[in-house]
Amino acid sequence: MTILGISAFYHDSAACVLRDGRLVAAAQEERFTRVKHDASFPEAAIRSCLAQAGIEPSGIDEVAFYEKPLAKLDRVMETAAAVAPRGLRSFASRLPAWFTEKARLPDLLRRRLGYRGPILYCEHHESHAASSFFPSPFEEAAILTVDGVGEWATNTVGVGRGGRVELLQELLFPHSLGLLYSAFTEFLGFAVNSDEYKVMGLAPFGEPRYVDRILERLLDLKEDGSYRLDLSFFAFLEGERTVNSRFADLFGLPPRRPEAAIRPADMDLARSIQAVTDEVLLRQARHAHRLTGLKNLCLAGGVALNCVTNGRILREGPFSRVWIQPAAGDAGGCIGAAYVAWHHVQGQPRIADPRDAMEGALLGPGIGGDEAEEALARSGIPGRRLDDDALFDAVTGLLADGKVVGWCRGRMEFGPRALGHRSILADPRRPDMQRRVNEKIKFREGFRPFAPAVLRERVTEWFDLDTDSPYMLLVAEVARSKRVARDPGSPEPEGLDRLHVARSVIPAVTHVDGSARVQTVSADVDPDFHRLLRSFEARTGCPVLLNTSFNLRGEPIVRTPGDACRTFRACHLDALVVDSWLVERPEGLPIVPLPPPRPGADAATPKRLRRFGLELSAGLLAAAGLTLWAWESPRAALGLAIAATLLAVFAWVRPSGLAAVERPWMRTVRVVAGGLSFLLTAVVHLALVTPIGLIRRAFRPDPLGLRPDRARSSWWSARVARAPDPESYRHPF
């Protein structure tokens, strides 16, 4: 049985294929469209997954979507009514998107793929929970899901046993740890739903000076990890921004402008919100342990990508083992939805894989045939094809000599991390390597840390970690034996100047607090990358490589050899490996910037241009008929009819010739449609939503529970326990 899982229409759209309960393919749409965090219908990702599974769309038995669209619409409408007459801009942006995207899923599947079979709808946090438990190595486990918001839930505690996931308790919107972290992300000048990891990377440079202020004013945090926000400091209910002027007043400084210099207070704010996040999730982990009595924990949701917090939960929490879904954000929801369809709807049993069922997250498309050779030829980059022995020996020598290598081999990783198949690799022993890769290759902020990839059998020698960390989701201290002793009389630099201090024998992957985001590499999971690490160890004595994603700032990770070649030409990489081909940068090779991304919907394909031409031709024919009927002008009507015929022939024979006309036409249509959409939505908001909201608030002054109550002992809401009902998944509400 083949189940297609889909997550889409918010950010990080993705698809996966589950065949007879085994995950055989998964990919994010951004890797195909080259639009970072692409939220559109993941047609390209779906087709890639089906191709990897060796089936056509007609071979899909069920489609599982990662949330319930009507339940999400209920939240949008309830929120709009609760804050009306404010919130028009937010309402006007969210409601049309719902009707043009989420409500059209059956139509999109039918038109784009020809699929007319059953569609199943899971709850958002149920998908997260399933994505973390069902692929995990545990027979049973407690489950924590933490993100911005699903339908209504923002946090859940649950349990997984055998073939069933059950959510026991939840916290409800608008009280959200994910939205709180995003508020600080925006205030610090970074992009929401994209740059939260920059806040995590910036945190060790500061001091937790604002923790008490956050806990006293912004967050009513209970002992069991439940919480409520004081919404008077936030703006995400009413508009597109997350915070208001009261938030700035609380900390006594204005928001940082994007790209502006980082202030000492920015570092302190980053450190403070990271400390608060750690505390909230440590309390929630202890609560989940008390509630379930289980020794294993599974984590998912966007906040579960916070590897600093994950490391603390593992070290300080009550659980013996912790497993985090490598695509813990919305992209991984497609995996959870597919597993829910298999186990809850089909009633299939589950046998836990002792390793895990994610196949090392190597679930994307590979490199086929002569694809690498053809990409190099198109790019005009000279390369040489080597057998594996010669290739690994040559690359090891380049890395040991201080060269930075782009590495594109095998199947692409699924999730936000490059794990050794679409990676940029370098020698971590060189003190200047962190700065060099950030500034000359990735073109990103200099404070950003890099991760070490280490042989699994050597991890305890180099890091304070004695467990698998194959997905780069745990932070651990560098082992004391590898740390560099500092002169006691030498003062610690302040702020970003701390970057210039070597803290271990692998300084390029050691953050300023002595920690590292560790990736362990096992021979049985990834023999190719393991072999490279062994080769580097044999030459240098160091079983560690700097591993960062093969992309430039603002770009998705490369997918194809063509992507790899274009990225190689756009930065100062010294060498490139594409499949079995090695390229060493020729002297004087010019830097060619990458073209700006264009959403897949804007790609003028021949089919789309032909349809555009035929639609214009039909419009001209209609105008000809109107001219003849209304103005009785046969000459003008004949001219329009001839023009329509010629246009139809031209569109059919040479559609590419219409590209110059189609682009400005579509831009104009979007502007006009956006204006009309805003007007219609404004009418609905003012004439319907606002009166209803005002009347409801007269009888129920706090409909969303916006007011904190510090006297209350817990904010967890119990969920009604019930056996999975296959029929309930067929409804989008």
Per residue, the 3-state secondary structure of 554-583, as one string, reads CCCCCCCHHHHHHHHHCCCCCEEEECCEEE
132 pLDDT higher than 90: yes
For range 104-130, the mean pLDDT: 94
Interval 421-437 mean pLDDT: 97
Residue 69 has pLDDT above 80, yes or no: yes
Confidence at residue 598, expressed as pLDDT on a 0 to 100 scale:
60
Predicted pLDDT at 102:
74
Confidence class for position 603, pLDDT limits 50, 70, 90: low
Omega before 726 within 30 of 0, i.e. cis: no
pLDDT value of residue 712: 85
Would you place residue 367 in the very low, low, confident or very high pLDDT band (cuts 50, 70, 90)?
very high
pLDDT tens by residue, 82-93: 888 888 888 887
- Residue 611 CA to residue 627 CA, distance in Å, equals 24
Per the DSSP assignment, residues forming a β-bridge with 286 are none
3-state secondary structure 392-457: HHHHHHHHHCCCCEEEECCCCCCCCCCCCCEEEEECCCCCCHHHHHHHHHHCCCCCCCCEEEEEHH
Distance CA 204, CA 515 (A): 9
In this predicted structure, what is the pLDDT of residue 708?
63
pLDDT digits (tens, 9 = 90+) for 135-148: 999 999 999 999 99
What CATH number was assigned to the domain covering residues 124-357+702-733? 3.30.420.40
* Average pLDDT over every residue of 390-411: 98
For residues 684-698, give the mean pLDDT: 88
**Could you give the angle at the alpha carbon of 404 between the alpha carbons of 401 and 409, nearest 5°?**
115
Is it the case that residue 356 has pLDDT exceeding 70?
Answer: yes
CA 96 to CA 110: how far, in whole Å? Answer: 21
**Per-residue pLDDT reduced to its tens digit, 54-64:** 999 999 999 99
Q: What percentage of the chain's residues is helix, strand, coil (to nearest 5)? A: 45, 15, 40
* pLDDT higher than 60, residue 599: no
pLDDT of residue 423: 98
Longest dimension (CA), the chain: 97
Q: Which CATH class is domain 371-486+497-584?
A: alpha beta
pLDDT computed for residue 699 by the predictor: 81
Across residues 561-587, what is the average pLDDT? 96
Tokens at 325, concatenated: 């879904």
Please give the share of the chain, as a percent, with pLDDT higher than 70: 98
Give yes or no for a contact between 272 and 209, defined as CB atoms under 8 angstroms apart.
yes
pLDDT tens track for 710-720: 778 899 999 87
244-253, 454-463, 693-702: least confidently modelled range: 693-702
What distance in Å separates the CA atoms of residue 217 and residue 207, rounded to the nearest whole number?
A: 19
What is the C-alpha separation between 246 and 274, in angstroms, rounded? 21
DSSP designation for 369: T
**Integer Cα distance of 108 and 99 in angstroms:** 12
What torsion do the CA atoms of 523, 503, 437, 400 make, to the nearest 10 degrees? -50
Q: Are 178 and 147 in contact (CB under 8 A)?
A: yes
Residues contacting 595, CB < 8 A, separation 6+: none
| Number of helices (H), then strands (E), in the chain | 23, 22
Span(s) in the chain for CATH 3.30.420.40: 124-357+702-733
End-to-end Cα spacing for the chain: 26
Cite the DSSP H helix spans in 54-145.
69-83, 88-100, 105-108, 124-133
Spatial distance between the Cα atoms of 275 and 668, rounded to a whole number of angstroms = 48
pLDDT band of residue 601 (cuts 50, 70, 90) is: very low
Q: Are 341 and 120 in contact (CB under 8 A)?
A: yes
Reply yes or no on whether the pLDDT at 202 is more than 50. Answer: yes
Q: What residues does CATH 3.90.870.20 cover in the chain? A: 371-486+497-584
pLDDT at 418: 97
pLDDT, tens digit, for every residue of 502-552?
999 999 999 999 999 999 999 999 999 999 999 999 999 999 999 999 999
Residue 172: pLDDT band by 50, 70, 90 thresholds? very high
Least Cα distance to 209 among 267, 260, 277, 280 occurs for: 267
User: How many CB atoms neighbour CB 373 within 10 A?
Assistant: 16
Cα–Cα distance, 52 to 366 (Å, whole number): 9
Strands 544-549 and 422-426 turn out to be antiparallel
Residues 6+ apart with CB under 8 A from 195: 185
In 3D, which of 179, 183, 191 has the Cα closest to residue 153? 179
C-alpha gyration radius of the chain: 27
- Which of the four pLDDT bands, split at 50, 70 and 90, describes residue 666? confident
Give the pLDDT mean for 643-651: 90
**In b/e form, how buried is each residue of 329-361, taking b as 16+ CB within 10 angstroms?**
bbbbbbbbbbbbbbbbbeeeebebeeebbbbbb
The secondary element (H helix, E strand) that includes residue 548 is: strand 544-549
Average pLDDT over all residues of the chain: 93
Model confidence, pTM: 0.91
Question: Band of the pLDDT at 597, cuts 50, 70, 90?
Answer: low
Residue closest to 313 by CA, chosen among 292, 286, 293, 294: 286
Which residues does residue 521 pair with via DSSP β-bridges, in sequence order?
A: 455
User: Cα dist. 32→49, 196, 419, 551, 598 in Å?
Assistant: 12, 23, 19, 14, 11
Residue-by-residue DSSP string for 256-309: PPTTSPPPHHHHHHHHHHHHHHHHHHHHHHHHHHHHH--SEEEEESGGGG-HHH
Q: Which of 412, 334, 366, 413 is nearest to 4 (CA)?
A: 334
Task: Give the span between the Cα atoms of 72 and 451, in whole angstroms.
Answer: 37
Q: How far is CA 335 from CA 2, 197, 341, in A?
A: 13, 23, 10
Tokens matching residue 235: 């703006």
Can you tell me the distance from the alpha carbon of 729 to that of 66, in angstroms, rounded to the nearest whole number?
Answer: 11
Q: How many CA atoms lie within 13 A of 724 on its CB side?
A: 25
- Is the predicted pLDDT of residue 723 greater than 90, yes or no? no
The string over 552-585, giving b where at least 16 C-beta atoms fall within 10 Å of a residue's C-beta and e elsewhere, is beebbbbbbbbbbbbbbbbbebbbbbbbbbbbbb
Quick: pLDDT tens for 257-284: 998 999 999 999 999 999 999 999 999 9
Please state, in angstroms and rounded to a whole number, the distance separating the CA atoms of residues 468 and 454: 11
pLDDT tens-digit map of 225-249: 999 999 999 999 887 789 999 999 9
